[in-house]
Amino acid sequence: MRDNAPIIPPLQGLQYGLLGLPLAFVALPVYVHLPNFYAQTFSMSLGVLGAILLLTRCFDGLIDPWLGRRMDAVYQHSRRHVIWVALVLALLLAIGFAALFLPPVALTSDTEQLAWLIGALLISHLAYSGLGILHQAWAARQGGGEVAQSRWVTWREGLGLLGVLLASTLPTLMGWANTTAVLVVLLSAGVWAWSRRLVGHQPALIAPASATIATTVSASPLRFSAFKRLLLLFLLNGFASAIPATLVLFFVQDGLQAPRQWEALYLGAYFAAGALSLPLWLRLITRFGLAKTWRLGMFISVLAFVGVLSLGAGDLYAFLVICCASGLALGADLAVPGALLNQLIDDCGERQKSDAAFVGWWNLVTKMNLALAAGLSLPLLGWLGYQPGQQDAQALWALSFAYGAVPCALKLMAAFVISRWFINPTHNGESA
């Protein structure tokens, strides 16, 4: 594949991508630390936590298509309107995060604790979704082909990985109060930087006044069969990644019986490997295209993660190697899917018409992955006899199987789907 895409100046890439850092900074604690935090702090059962996470994430995901239409409407107004909406959502996001990880000490009863958790989750999810869709849709509106799209996405996801690295270490090193303060600073910097990109961008960013909002928000992206196939692929691959994200701290603490300081090391190694691999994946995209590159990442993930099944207590360095290898595969999951979505929007003729609506449905699937991972894996582990701190053989076997084998099977299914529908397609991308 010949790379004819325009070069994105580093300053422009930074101005757009910087907001991805605090968004990712928020996402990791909510999806990884939160179950363990509330299980340890309030002694909540895994079944109750799983049910709450499942219900709130399902609600959050179901409103994403609606949020997508609303964000398309935002883009019909002035750049100033886009900036003000981003500022309000960033403020709500900071408030929700603080409520989640700095709960009042006065919460003593189970009812108060559950009500606080649910309310804080709903605020956080709503603000995170709206701001994320608004931000992602901007890149989709730029067009430029799959290589150019992969560059915009890589700026966003690369800086997002930096946010994940910070989020994986700061809570352990600095505590949740200081971590929340860092988030406020990062959100402020991200919105400010993106506002500079919005102000300095060409007029095509905002749809012309003659375009009606009704036209923008009425037609569902699901009318495109190619988009439905891409959603299924994204669901399989994302579910495969969400299960380990939900269970990793339990596996490290009880499966490996690792000292607490190793938790940050494992998470840091995984995300650092993903960040460092992004230039490699960009080169592979330029040479082989998006779909083949993504499939290669899936195979690498399977080869790396199948080794989890052989690990036990004390295998600390072996798991560190697995974290680095699976982090390499993470780079493909970051660089390819968003660019593939944005290219599909262009191919469907919907750029600058309903970009955010596509992103809304895309984010719904992202959250369904996380909801299913928490809502199914946590209660299942509890039913099989595993609880945090228990290390009997049967419970640890169930934990290893859920953490290692199930994701590998799902990744292989995703690799089959991408081969069948995107690398050797039998259908065109026409409307269903």
Going residue by residue through the chain, which has 432 residues, state the pLDDT in tens, using 9 for 90 and above. Answer: 444 555 677 788 888 889 999 998 888 788 778 888 888 888 778 778 878 887 887 787 788 888 888 888 888 877 888 889 999 999 999 999 999 999 887 777 888 888 999 999 999 989 999 999 999 888 877 766 667 777 888 888 889 888 877 887 788 788 899 999 999 999 999 999 998 877 655 444 444 443 443 344 446 788 888 889 999 999 999 888 888 888 888 889 888 998 888 888 898 888 889 889 988 998 998 888 889 999 999 999 999 888 888 888 889 999 999 999 999 999 999 888 888 888 888 888 877 778 888 888 888 887 777 777 777 777 777 777 777 777 778 778 888 888 888 899 999 999 999 999 888 765 444 433
CA atoms within 13 A on the CB side of 266: 24
User: Which among 186, 171, 187 has a CA at the least distance from the CA of 33?
Assistant: 171
CATH superfamily name and code, 10-423: MFS general substrate transporter like domains (1.20.1250.20)
Question: 3-class SS at 387?
Answer: coil
Residues in the chain: 432
Would you state the pLDDT for residue 1? Answer: 45
Which residue type occupies 190?
G
Contact 237, 256 (CB under 8 A): no
Would you state the pLDDT for residue 88? Answer: 95
Tokens read off for 22 = 């605090």
Would you state the pLDDT for residue 44? Answer: 79
Would you state the pLDDT for residue 79? Answer: 80
**R_g of the chain, CA atoms, integer Å:** 21
Distance CA 360, CA 129 (A): 8
Would you state the pLDDT for residue 7? Answer: 67
User: Which one-letter DSSP state was computed for residue 207?
Assistant: P
Distance CA 411, CA 329 (A): 11
Contact 97, 183 (CB under 8 A): yes
Ranges of each domain in the chain: 10-423
Tokens read off for 257 = 């019986």
Question: 3-class SS at 259?
Answer: coil
Would you state the pLDDT for residue 414? Answer: 94
Contact 298, 237 (CB under 8 A): yes
